[in-house]
Structures are given as structure tokens and as C-alpha cells.
Amino acid sequence: QNYCKPTGQIHDACCDYETVESVNHDLFDRLHHLVEQPYFRYHKVDLAKECPFWEEDGSCMNRACGVETTDEEHTPEAWRSYTLGKLNHTSSQTSSPAGCNEISDSDFCVLEDELDSEGVYVDLLENPERFTGYAGHSSARVWKAIYEENCFAPVPFIDPSRSTFEGGSGFAHVPTSSSSGLGGLGGGGGLGGGLAMGGWGEAEKRLMGSLAGPKDPTEEVCLEKRVFYRVISGLHASISVHICDDYLDQQTGEWAPNLDCFITRIGQHPERLENMYFTYVLLLRALARSGPQLVQTLQDTAGEQETRDRLAGLVKVANGCPSTFDEKSMFSGKEAQLLKDEFKDHFRNVSRIMDCVGCDKCRLWGKLQVTGLGTALKLLFSYDGASPLSSPLRPDLDPQAVVLSRSELVAFVNTLHRLSESLAAVDKFRMLWAKRNFRE
Ligand code: FAD
């Protein structure tokens, strides 16, 4: 059995595995160099926020869970002046254009304000996403809570071809308790109790059974719900790949790829691998579609010329690639707006759950990547037609235009890089697998 070589069409995307791998081959080095630029290296994050849903029993004490922070003085001066300028600029306005804790309608995440004094600067290169040893009850509880956000309104699918249902996505909206913010979790009750690891399989099936994979009998779940699940599962798979790729051998104290870890967590679950490719595809589409806006944001938030050139080069390559995802197929039916609102509510809750991760390093990357995915969703679904070139410094240009903050851009590019690296790691595991088989 070949655990690592997926082939053929990726469900819900417009491309196959081979195409995505070839695109990744073209983009990987460019992305790698881009995230080494100071602009994308330093990220401000609040790691001390309390979990809004339950009392966390304390942080992971593993050394590998620790995060090295960077004094603000070590970050490029241009941004400090930029953020100070923004402070003056926004203090005279009723609403902040970029990244405040208030949620604007276009946002799929609860964003942190870069001006927030609680946040700390982190050098992402110095704090790589890798094995930390964070596991057990705390991490299982967080994953369970995240997947529970999949529980959109429990309305049975209505197949338009077999009923009088007209058009639409097959999703009938019923407001959920989570639409009001915390209710979806607090009211659930089920999250308070522990989760026996042995029972997770059943819980997982129950929670997402109708969304799982192509062989599932209820696979006719509407596209939007499937996409939500695939993005979460794809992120989870990518995190697992990074854990296995940069794994600590506790016997020798060495960091190295762990093939068995990969086989158990990913290789034996082709649907997880597919979801990871799908998540990458969605991010790629956001990059290709919104290139000018991303470059403009970089320019308006004190991005250096070299970084701008590199980002523009990346966008150009992405634009030359075959289309990977058709965002117009989503939120286009009868219930489009209601469905989009619910999708946003659920995704915002996922971003709040990140403050419940009990390991600082995992929390850092979890928060960053959920923000990165939320930014991609915002770029794909919060405006249509031509991309408006609005910017945090010029919100007056078009009040309807989507505005990105520096944090969102940093999160988006780094998340794209995480997924790109995960795909490259699959290739590496493929070779390790072949080598092992050859020896046996
Ligand atoms: P888990 O990965 O905890 O999975 C729980 C259950 O979810 C599984 O039993 C399975 O039923 C289901 N599942 C697993 N993968 C998928 C998937 N892709 N799609 C659908 N269902 C799935 N640990 C680190 O060492 N380093 C990190 O950087 C790190 N970051 C984390 C970030 C977040 C946001 C969270 C919540 C946890 C993080 N962890 C990290 C912990 C790590 O993800 C695992 O929880 C931990 O390693 C225990 O793994 P596990 O094998 O018990 O299963």
C-alpha cells in the first residue's frame, strides 16, 4: 500500500493532485524566501488571553511549548513609525480600519489589534512549528470543540434533483446558538466533560459523519459545509505533518522526520491528506485572485521594496498557474447570505477557541493559521468582481472595500507557506517510505 502518493481529482477543487504538486514546486522556494523577509518574520500576538469557553487547567510545561519573544525595538523601525502613525490616524476616527478586536462584517476571524499593548512580537523563524509534546486531554478537547463548530444547523439535506426544492445549496438555515457568539460552545455542555481518547473515533463520526469523505452515505451535504470541514481538517492534517516532519526522538534527543508518525496520523487516512491539499488549493486561489490587493497592503504598511518585489513575483507565478478553486460556486444559492453568515459565525468561533490551546507554541501557530485561513476566506468571499485596492491607511477610498491589516497579510502568507511546506514534506515521506520498502 502506498501511503503517500495521492492521485486524481481533488474533491471540491478544480484540479488534481499532480497539478497542485507541480504548482507547489514552482512556488515553494519563492514562498520560503518571502517568509524570511523581516516583514513576514515578526508577528504580534497575544498569547495570554483567557480561554472564553472553559477553564484551562494550566499551560503545557514542556520546554518545547515555550515561545521566544522579541523586543519591539528589534523589529524594523518602519513599522513602529507606521503603527504609531496609525495610532494618531485612528484615534480621530470612529472605527479603526485595520485589525481591531471588533469584528467587521467582512471578517471571518476575531482579529487582534496590532496596537494592543498585551501582544508580544514573535520571530516566527526562531519559533518553528514542530513537535512539542502537547497532547492528551487538553489538545483533544480543543480539537473536539473546533470540529463541533462543524455542526451547522441540523437540517437534513434536500437533494434538488429529487425534490421540489428549487436551486440553492441544499442547506436550509436555522439560526444556531453559536450565531450569538459564545453560545454555540457554552450551551453545548458536552465540551465541559473530558474526552476519552478511545471514544474520539465515535465522537468524530457523530460530529462530522455527514461531512467526512466521499464514501460517506450522506456525502450530498452542501458544498459550503464540506468546505468548512475540509479547511479545518486540512489545517489539522498540516499541523500533524509538521509535528511528524520535525519530531523529537526522545531517546537520542535528535530532531528528525518520523515516518511512523506520518503513516499513523496522515498516510492511513487518505481523506485527511486530501483535505490538506484542498486547504492549500483554497489559499492558492486567494493569492491568485487578490494579488494586487496584497501587494498594495504591503506597500501601505511599510513593507520594504525587496519584499514587495518578492510578493509581486509570487503572485505572478500563481496567476500563471491553472485555476485551483471556483469560489463562485459557493454562497450562490437561495440561502446564500444566511449560509455565509453562519459560516462566518462558526469560523469566528474557531478563532476564539485558539485561546484555549494550552501550549504557547501551538497557540501561536494555531492562531496565526486560523487568521491566515480567515483572511483567505475574506479575500474570496467578502467582495466580488474586481478587487478593490483599498488599504488600511486609506479607508476613505471605498467604504465597501475590504481592508487588510499587516497582521492579516503576515498570517496569510505564513499560512500559505505552512501548507506549501506540508505538501513538500509529503514528498519527503514518500521517499522515506520507498526507501524503507526497498530495504525490506
Ligand atoms: P489529534 O491530532 O489530537 O486528533 C484528535 C482526533 O481528531 C483523532 O483521534 C482523530 O479522530 C481526529 N483527527 C486527527 N486528524 C484529523 C484530521 N486531519 N481531520 C479530521 N480528523 C482528524 N502539537 C505539537 O506537537 N506541535 C504543534 O505545533 C501543535 N499545534 C497544535 C495546534 C492546535 C490548534 C491544537 C489544538 C493542537 C496542537 N498540537 C500540537 C497537538 C496535536 O495537534 C495533537 O493534538 C497531539 O499531537 C495528539 O495527537 P493525537 O494523535 O492524539 O490526535
Tens digit of each residue's pLDDT (9 = 90 or more) over 243-299: 999 999 989 999 999 999 999 999 999 999 999 999 999 999 999 999 988 999 999
Residues 428-432 have a mean pLDDT of 94
Which of the residue ranges 170-174, 287-291, 386-390, 431-435 would you say has the lowest mean pLDDT? 170-174
Pocket mutation for ligand 1, best pick of 362, 363, 364, 426 (most atoms within 8 Å of C-beta): 362
- Taking only the tens place, the pLDDT of each residue in 294-333 is 999 999 888 999 999 999 999 999 998 888 888 888 888 8
Interval between CA 129 and ligand 1 midpoint (Å): 13
Which atom of ligand 1 is the closest one to the Cα of 140?
A: 3
Residue 31: φ, ψ to 5°? -65, -40
* Winning range, highest mean pLDDT, from 215-229, 394-408, 413-427: 413-427
Most informative mutation of 56, 131, 139 for ligand 1 (most atoms within 8 A of CB)? 139
Where residue 74 falls among pLDDT bands split at 50, 70, 90?
confident
What 243-251 contacts at long range (C-beta under 8 Å, 24+ apart), as own/partner pairs, is: 243/130, 243/131, 243/132, 244/131, 244/425, 244/429, 245/130, 245/421, 245/422, 245/425, 245/428, 245/429, 246/128, 246/129, 246/130, 246/131, 247/130, 247/131, 248/64, 248/130, 248/131, 248/133
Residue 349 near ligand 1, beta carbon < 6 Å: no
Q: In sequence order, what are the residues at sequence separation of 6 or more whose Cβ sits closer than 8 angstroms to the Cβ of residue 179? A: 341, 342, 345
- Distance in Å, CA 303 to ligand 1 centroid: 34
Helix (H) or strand (E) holding 89: helix 77-91
Residue nearest to atom 48 of ligand 1 (CA): 135
Task: Compare 151 and 309 and report the one with higher pLDDT.
Answer: 309
For residue range 156-168, list pLDDT tens digits in order: 443 333 332 222 2
Q: Is the CB of 64 under 6 A from ligand 1?
A: no
The reply to whether ligand 1 has any atom less than 6 angstroms from the CB of 357 is: yes
C-alpha separations of 195 from 139, 178, 232 in Å: 10, 21, 19
DSSP state of 13: S
Q: Can you give the pLDDT at residue 432?
A: 94
* Sign of the alpha-carbon dihedral angle for 272, 275, 277, 280: negative
Residue of 53, 129, 134 to test ligand 1 pocket, by largest number of atoms within 8 Å of CB: 134
The dihedrals phi and psi of 100, each to the nearest 5 degrees, come to: -85, 170
Asked whether the predicted pLDDT for residue 182 surpasses 90, the reply is no
Mutate to test the pocket of ligand 1, among 61, 142, 146, 236 (most ligand atoms within 8 A of CB): 236
Which H or E run includes 312? helix 305-319
pLDDT in tens, 190-225: 222 222 233 334 434 433 443 443 344 335 678 889
Q: Comparing 21 with 175, which gets the higher pLDDT?
A: 21
Place of cell 470540529: 147
* The three cell numbers locating residue 422: 506540508
Ligand 1, atom 46: nearest CA belongs to which residue? Answer: 135
Task: Please give the distance, rounded to the nearest whole angstrom, from the Cα atom of residue 235 to the centre of ligand 1.
Answer: 10
Q: What is the pLDDT of residue 78?
A: 74
Q: Is 362 in the pocket of ligand 1 (CB under 6 A)?
A: yes
- Measured CA to CA, the distance from residue 277 to residue 231 in angstroms comes to 10
Q: Rounded to a whole number, what is the distance in angstroms from the first to the last CA of the chain?
A: 14
Ligand 1: does its nearest atom lie under 6 Å from the Cβ of 131? yes
Smallest Cα–Cα separation from 210: which of 253, 260, 155? 155
Q: How many CB atoms lie within 10 A of CB 401?
A: 17
Whole-angstrom Cα distance, residue 354 to residue 227?
20
Q: Indicate if ligand 1 lies below 6 Å from the C-beta of 54.
A: no
- Which amino acid belongs to residue 98? A
Report which ligand 1 atom has the smallest distance to the Cα of 204. Answer: 11
Closest Cα to atom 3, ligand 1: which residue?
140
- Longest C-alpha distance within the chain, in Å? 70
| pTM higher than 0.95 | no
Q: How many A from CA of 118 to the centre of ligand 1?
A: 28
Residue nearest to atom 37 of ligand 1 (CA): 139
Helix H or strand E segment including 198 = none
pLDDT band at 73 (very low <50, low <70, confident <90, very high): confident
Residue numbers annotated as active site = 359, 362
Rounded Cα gap, residues 391 and 405, in angstroms: 8
Q: What is the ipTM of this complex?
A: 0.99
The three cell numbers locating residue 327:
469560489
Mean pLDDT of the chain: 79
Q: Could you give the 3-state DSSP secondary structure of residue 93?
A: coil
Read off the pLDDT of residues 100-150 as tens digits, 9 standing for 90 and up.
456 787 888 888 877 766 789 999 999 999 999 999 999 999 999 999 887
Q: Greater confidence, 211 or 429?
A: 429
Overall average pLDDT of the 57-74 stretch: 83
The Cα-based distances of 141 to 186, 205, 355, 412 in angstroms read 14, 16, 13, 26
